[in-house]
Amino acid sequence: MGPLSTEQQPFPASEGVRRVAGTPWTRGRVLASLAVLVAGLLMFHDAVPNAVGNLGGLLETFLPWVGLAVPLLGVLALLRRSALAAVALLLPATAWAVLFGGRLPPVERGAAHDLTVSQLTVSQLTVLQHNVADDNPDPAGTARALAGAGADLVALEEVTPETLPVYGAALAPDHPHHAVVGTVGLWSRYPLTDSRPVDIRPKDIEGDWNRGLRTTARTPYGDVAVYVAHLPSLRVRLPDGFGSGRRDESAVALGAALAAERLDRVILLGDLNGTLDDRGLAPLTSRLIPAREGFDFSWPAAFPVARIDHVMTRAATPVSTWTLPATGSDHLPIAARIKL
């Protein structure tokens, strides 16, 4: 048999489109495996152990962002021409939708969330939570913004002795009642009674460290126990990794105080240094109802990636929650409307 003619010779790979090996249902097995792994991390994040570098807590802190793997893998599946990977991507996409789809579409801003008293029903309170930052370059501007928000209760963390008069003076006209313990405080339209510290200090912290407050707000709708708390910050250190031990210890102490609270209606306002998906906050999320409408990431203010500032309730219902414009702090203010 003679040599093949030009028309009969195979097309050289260098002169044409290189063929992709396999079929659409056999290509992309690695991508399909990654899609299954992402779905598993989303649905079973609490099974990721904290024994090594507290990886479980780190994953849960940024859990919504794991969903970004879906479009990335989708592009790779398209380039690979893999039907197998494309179908496998339905697993993480569905898992993300189950966990976070209820927070979409984004909450509308504007007049619907103006905190004016005239818009509230007789059984609703508006509350405002803000870590004002002890290194805030503009405490006066922050104080004016908070005072103008129109909330019934304003909880602040990282209030220093130097800035306390600034916040007090700005908030006093509409919030004549206040209670301050250490670096946390509450300003209220309504009288406050039985104000006292809540001991949430981790055992290994010494010195002057008071970051928990409990008071009773005498509202027109009945007494409400209000807690303000600032849990210890998380730290990333080598070789320990993502450290949350102090935060978790404080959360246990705060959870015990909430469990012992005698008033039925409770509102917790605070910088809890953890997201609602973080198992370290289970002593709180297992006892209270979080205000979790939308994502409303609160930290860092320049490019928020996590919601670590929270409003939680017991025997009351969070109706809506939203963020306010940035102040001089590295946190965004969080507001919520609560139905009593």
**Tokens 């509102």 sit on residue:** 267
N- to C-terminal Cα separation, the chain? 93
Q: How confident is the model at residue 234 (pLDDT cuts 50, 70, 90)?
A: confident
Residues 132-141: what's their mean pLDDT? 98
d(CA 94, CA 85): 15
What string of DSSP letters covers 259-286?
HT--SS-EEEEEE-SS-TT-GGGHHHHT
pLDDT of residue 238 exceeding 50: yes
d(CA 298, CA 281): 17
Same structural domain, 98 and 123: no
Same structural domain, 278 and 313: yes
User: Which of these three, 83, 102, 121, is where a domain ends?
Assistant: 102
pLDDT of residue 13 exceeding 90: no
Residues 234-251: what's their mean pLDDT? 79
d(CA 287, CA 320): 19
The number of helix segments (H) and strand segments (E) in the chain equals: 9, 14
Stronger pLDDT, 129 or 234, i.e. the higher one: 129
Stronger pLDDT, 172 or 25, i.e. the higher one: 172
d(CA 90, CA 197): 50
Take residue 310 and report the two structure tokens written for it.
Answer: 């929270």
194 within domain boundaries: yes
- The overall average pLDDT reported for the chain is 88
Same structural domain, 238 and 93: no
- The domain of 117 spans 111-339
Same structural domain, 285 and 173: yes
What value does the CA radius of gyration of the chain take, rounded to a whole number of Å?
Answer: 26
Same structural domain, 178 and 78: no
Same structural domain, 204 and 81: no
Same structural domain, 63 and 120: no
d(CA 52, CA 198): 32
Cβ proximity of 307 and 295 under 8 Å = yes
Same structural domain, 51 and 157: no
Same structural domain, 175 and 311: yes
User: Which of these three, 45, 76, 102, is where a domain ends?
Assistant: 102
Query: What are the pLDDT digits (tens) for 187-224?
Result: 999 999 999 999 999 999 988 899 999 999 999 999 99
Q: How confident is the model at residue 286 (pLDDT cuts 50, 70, 90)?
A: very high
User: Which of these three, 102, 134, 158, is where a domain ends?
Assistant: 102
pLDDT of residue 68 exceeding 70: yes
pLDDT of residue 108 exceeding 70: no
Same structural domain, 197 and 143: yes
d(CA 321, CA 267): 14
Same structural domain, 215 and 288: yes
